[in-house]
Amino acid sequence: MTGQVLGTPGGGAHMDDNAAIRINVGGFKKRLQSDTLSRFPETRLARLLHCQSKESILELCDDYDDTEKEFYFDRNPALFPYVLNFYNTGRLHVMAELCIFSFSQEIEYWGINEFFIDSCCSSAYHCRKMDQDRDDWEDRSDEGSTTSSFDELLEFYSDATKFDKQLLGSARRRVWLMLDNPGYSVASRIISILSILVVLGSIATMCMNSMSEFSLLDSEGQPTEDPRFETVEHFGIGWFTLELVARFVVAPDLLHFFEHPLNVIDLVSILPFYLTLLINLVVESTPALANLGRVAQVLRLMRIFRILKLARHSTGLRSLGATLRNSYKEVGLLLLYLAVGVSFFSVMAYTVEKEDSEDLSTIPACWWWATVSMTTVGYGDVVPVSIAGKLTASACILAGILVVVLPITLIFNKFSLFYKRQKQLEIAMRSCDFDEGIKEVPSVNLRNYYAHKVKSLMASLSNMSRSSPSEHSLNESIH
What residue segments make up the domains of the chain, in order of their start? 9-117, 169-313, 326-430
The pLDDT, as a whole number, for residue 344 is 92
Residue type, 53: S
Q: Which residues lie across from 63 on neighbouring strands?
A: 72
Q: What is the mean pLDDT of residues 150-166?
A: 70
The pLDDT, as a whole number, for residue 9 is 35
As a whole number of angstroms, the distance between CA 273 and CA 285 comes to: 19
The dihedral sign for the CA sequence 95, 96, 98, 102: positive
Listed ranges 9-18, 120-129, 138-147, 423-432; the one with the highest mean pLDDT: 120-129
As a whole number of angstroms, the distance between CA 80 and CA 45 comes to: 12
DSSP run (H or E) holding 73: strand 70-73
Question: 3-class DSSP state for residue 159?
Answer: helix
Alpha carbon distances (Å) from 315 to 182, 422, 460: 11, 7, 32
Q: Which residues are within 8 A (CB) of 255 and not within 5 positions of it... i.e. 6 or more apart?
A: none
Question: 3-class DSSP state for residue 23?
Answer: strand
CATH number for the domain running over 326-430: 1.10.287.70
- 9-117 and 326-430 have identical folds: no
As a whole number of angstroms, the distance between CA 291 and CA 276 comes to: 13
pLDDT digits (tens, 9 = 90+) for 201-240: 888 888 887 777 777 776 676 667 778 888 888 898 898 8
Q: What is the mean pLDDT of residues 360-385?
A: 87
CATH classification (class only), 169-313: mainly alpha
Helices and strands (H and E) in the chain: how many: 17, 6
CATH number for the domain running over 9-117: 3.30.710.10
The pLDDT, as a whole number, for residue 192 is 85
Listed ranges 142-151, 251-260, 343-352; the one with the highest mean pLDDT: 343-352
Q: What is the mean pLDDT of residues 6-19?
A: 46
The dihedral sign for the CA sequence 467, 471, 476, 479: positive
The pLDDT, as a whole number, for residue 444 is 45
Evaluate if residue 175 carries a pLDDT over 50.
Answer: yes
What's the predicted TM-score (pTM) here? 0.51
Which alpha helices (DSSP H) does 210-226 contain, by range? none
The pLDDT, as a whole number, for residue 320 is 80
Instruction: Mean pLDDT check: name the lowest of 378-382, 394-398, 406-410, 422-426.
Output: 422-426
State percent of the chain over pLDDT 90. Answer: 3
Q: What is the mean pLDDT of residues 6-15?
A: 42
